[in-house]
Structure 1
């Protein structure tokens, strides 16, 4: 907060006490309470962000599993298409003539089909009881570093999911083209 707001807030509290016929608050005591209130609000905000990060981790895992399942289905479909081409085409010359339409490799940069490998389990969310002293600067720095690490991990997971989605899109397109060629 800026300096004028702090003073006006203290002055407002003094005016309130005067109107109610109470003793005006001690400035040092007022500042301690205000600081404690701000630290409590920051702790609540950090806890809310930690819960949000956990929810995002869970949803990323769900998406990763579904994309892995899709890539697995596409891989199975590609194997069936290849078997159908071998039995339907018959001779080796036909197979070699159609080699340009080959199969799609789903084991590219995304690490193959299947869900993304699980990272470390997320750290448990700590709730601060009212009587607990405010966190030290080292604890705050450690919490911020942990949050940054989790966010980096989520970005890595998003990159993996994007690669899996790209592989699935390419595989579906190739398989659609192969089926159209076979149907002609």
Structure 2
């Protein structure tokens, strides 16, 4: 009967030794913190870009509505000029003629046509103001998200330096900067 003997080499011994002993807890904690911060940084960067894109969208919508409102005001002004010409025609024509009656009918027609045009132009101007306000609010949020992203990136850099230097004060500083980034992100989220 043959018995097999297992011979352990130096590599096997090192792997077994590493498996039975704890890894460097300082490095492990910093690695986990860096991974968490990188995830938060990615989320904050996404929100920053999303806020900026929405701000640009609403600013574009405001510009489109502003053009539509300007067109409506031009149309209103054209109707007003036609009304003025009809009033002038009525004033210059003889009192009881068909031309005079036609000019007076045109004056009434243009007065009636102007009101819905004015109302639509004013409604479009309100949409412009609403879209501008949304854009400004989103742009302000974008700045907060960008600040949060920056702070998280600085905290990640501090974590890397902490791993190299193994300084506790540097680790604590990275915690403080990370907390400031998370708080700034929270302000952006709830604002």
Q: Partners in 2 of 1:33 and 1:77 — Cα distance? A: 66
Secondary structure of 1:116's aligned partner:
helix
The match for 1:46 among 44, 47, 53 is 44
User: What SS does the corresponding residue of 2:157 show, helix, strand or coil?
Assistant: coil
State the match for 2:136 in structure 1: 119
Displacement of 1:35:
3.3
**8 Å contact from structure 1 (residues 61, 116) kept in 2:** yes
Unmatched 5+ stretches in structure 2: 1-11, 90-102, 159-173
Match of 1:102 in 2: 114
Which digits, 9 at most, give the CA deviation of each residue in 1:85-120, with x for residues without a partner?
443584345423664433322224844868836737
TM-score, length of structure 2 as denominator length: 0.51
Tell whether the 8 Å contact from 1:85 to 1:95 is kept in structure 2 after alignment.
Answer: yes
- TM-score under structure 1 normalisation? 0.53
> Larger C-alpha radius of gyration, 1 or 2?
2
Taking a change above 3 Å as real, the CA distance of residues 63 and 86 of structure 1, as seen in their structure-2 partners, is same
> Partner residue of 2:23?
26
- C-alpha separation between the residues in 1 aligned to 2:29 and 2:69? 59
1:58 is displaced (CA, Å) by 1.8
Match of residue 182 from structure 1? none
Give the length in aligned residue pairs.
Answer: 133
Paired with 1:67 and 1:19, the residues of 2 have a C-alpha distance of 74
User: Any stretches of 5+ residues in structure 1 without a counterpart?
Assistant: 1-17, 150-184
Distance, in Å, in 2 between the alignment partners of 1:102 and 1:92 is 16
1:121-167 Cα offsets, whole Å, 9 max, x none, are 64272431442324454542332222432xxxxxxxxxxxxxxxxxx
Write the deviation string for residues 48-86 of structure 1: whole angstroms up to 9, x where unpaired.
211221122122212211211121122112211332344
CA change 1:57–1:19 in 2 (3 A) is farther
SS of the equivalent of 1:26 reads coil
Matched, 1:131 2:126: no
In the TM superposition, what is the alpha-carbon distance from 1:19 to its structure 2 partner?
A: 11
Higher helix share: 2
